[in-house]
Amino acid sequence: MAVCITWPLVTDINGLLIGVLNVDLIDTVALRSFDQPIGFWPFDYPFSELQPNKIDAYSFLPFRTLGFPLGDNLWWLCMLTCNGWAAHFMGHSINGKAKEGFLCGIFLLFSESILREGTLHHAPQILLMGLPFFFGCLFSWRRTDKKRYIVGASLSVSFAFLSYWYYGLFLVLAALPFLRLIPWKLLLGIIAVGALSTIPFLFSAMSTPIIEVPRPKVPNNPWFIFPIPADKSAWLSLLLCLGLFRTHTLRPVILWWMGLSVFAMTFSINAPLEETFPFVASLQEHLPFLSRLHWPERWSILLHLGASLAITKLSWKWLLLILIETSILSANFPIPTTQVGSLSCLKQLSIVNAPILMLPWDTSEVNLAALHHRLHKQPVVNPFVLPPNHLPPKEWHEGKKYYGDYILSLEETKEMNIGAVYIDKTPWSALSTGRINTLRYKISKQLGPPLDIGCADVWMMEAKQPTPLPYKKTPLPNTSIYSWDNYWIK
């Protein structure tokens, strides 16, 4: 099923990358080098300081040696499979029936919450398997009374909080109906032990120096029933809505999950009716943690978890019709892919044994230089554009003035231990021909003529030169169905 929802990824798994090109995709790929220093040259700044959610980085370690994009794609296929398996476990745990497990697992994989986060290449957000696994453990304990499921439930709480903080919040809210289904002291103990065990990890993540920033305003956020814009969609099958009228032993749980989700996506911060009924968003602003949940579509995971429980009482034919409906109406099915073949020639820069500077310096707040590091594996002079609430080293501001118009001579460049300077000519940089020619002329006056390797014009500070290889320019995907513009285009 993971192969199905990402098709045709496996047909060119080393030339495509799961997801549509956007700022989050670039940052996620770049941060896969989390144990190496980068940016703010000559002051090393570790990637790990930029990652408030480290579970996705640690889980990527077995795949990292496979390189980019093969390792990234295999990680995604593995995580999608784990989500489907966790949902299968939840459905199977209700009554011990394999059919209910498969219905639940397949539906959750095809749900908009999974498809949307895959489209955006949101690695931490795709790690939502802790939620269905937690409730699967609770169902299994009710059915078998085996203590191992209590341990599994507590570990699931820890995983949910660490994978993304609001998944832990959603888990706690979704667990409220179970106060009537299992002993309340046991349930509170499971959640408390799981949550408290994450404190050392959360303390480390919160130790990064930050500054206060105002919450972003997201205009025209659609209600969950609309499939476009695709990056904001929380669309739910209309056929499944008809199936909700079927009798289900877990109807109170299903209605609570789905009702809470719809309420939050309607009235919370940046939701469609926030200004019409501002009291909900105003209350949310003053609550710890909840005030930082600026994206109403993220609540959709509870909607789709509830729907995956509801579908267990339907037939295979009904599921087939729902999947056909999803393939027609969902703008995120199948999860789109982005061509990365045009970046591969940057591997030729791996012969440089010194920091590399990518130009133009003013490519806007997009970490392309850090992404290129995944290919040439050399330190980069360009800074990693930090999130607004992270502070860069103060000393770096003294050095950045040299790079905007590149006023350094050849001798000064060598003295600063810069091994190579290059202009990114790939479609990812979105530079016009005129902009590339202007930069080439300006830098050539200081450093001499460049070497054209296809995807970049390179000025080498060392005697050895890369051998240009055949280069094929690949187009970028259409992003007209999303709510953003390619604002880094110059």
Local confidence band at 426 (pLDDT 50, 70, 90 cut-offs): confident
Q: Is the pLDDT of residue 488 over 50?
A: no
Highest mean pLDDT among 43-52, 269-278, 356-365: 269-278
Distance CA 297, CA 295 (A): 6
Q: Is the pLDDT of residue 153 over 80?
A: yes
Specify the pLDDT at position 211. 42
Structural domain total, the chain: 2
State mean pLDDT over 320-331. Answer: 86
Q: Is the pLDDT of residue 57 over 70?
A: yes
Within-domain flag for 465: no
Specify the pLDDT at position 468. 54
Q: Is the pLDDT of residue 140 over 70?
A: yes
Peptide bond into 360 cis (omega under 30): yes
pTM for this structure? 0.88
Tell me 130's DSSP state.
Answer: H
Among 212, 219, 221, 202, residue whose Cα is nearest residue 158:
202
Specify the pLDDT at position 487. 38
Among 296, 308, 306, residue whose Cα is nearest residue 232:
296
Q: In this structure, what is the dihedral angle of CA atoms 105, 111, 113, 118, given to the nearest 10 degrees?
A: 90
Q: How buried is 452 (Cβ within 10 angstroms: 0-12 exposed, 13-18 middle, 19+ buried)?
A: middle
Q: Let me know whether 231 and 323 are in one domain.
A: yes
Do 80 and 126 form a contact (C-beta atoms < 8 A)? Answer: yes
Q: Which residues pair with 380 in a beta bridge?
A: 356
Across the chain, what does the average pLDDT equal? 81
Within-domain flag for 103: yes
Within-domain flag for 392: yes
Specify the pLDDT at position 486. 44
Q: Is the pLDDT of residue 215 over 80?
A: no
State mean pLDDT over 427-454. Answer: 85
Local confidence band at 213 (pLDDT 50, 70, 90 cut-offs): very low
Local confidence band at 210 (pLDDT 50, 70, 90 cut-offs): very low
Specify the pLDDT at position 394. 59
State mean pLDDT over 370-389. Answer: 77
Specify the pLDDT at position 367. 79
More confident residue, 99 or 393: 99
Within-domain flag for 263: yes
Q: Let me know whether 86 and 230 are in one domain.
A: yes
Within-domain flag for 45: no
Q: Let me know whether 319 and 367 are in one domain.
A: no
Q: Is the pLDDT of residue 490 over 50?
A: no
Within-domain flag for 475: no
Helix axes 300-310, 251-267, angle to 10 degrees: 150
Q: Is the pLDDT of residue 103 over 80?
A: yes
Q: Let me know whether 200 and 273 are in one domain.
A: yes
The domain in which residue 401 lies consists of 341-460
Domain's final residue, options 336, 358, 383: 336
CB contact set of 396 (below 8 Å; sequence gap of 6+)? 40, 41, 43, 383
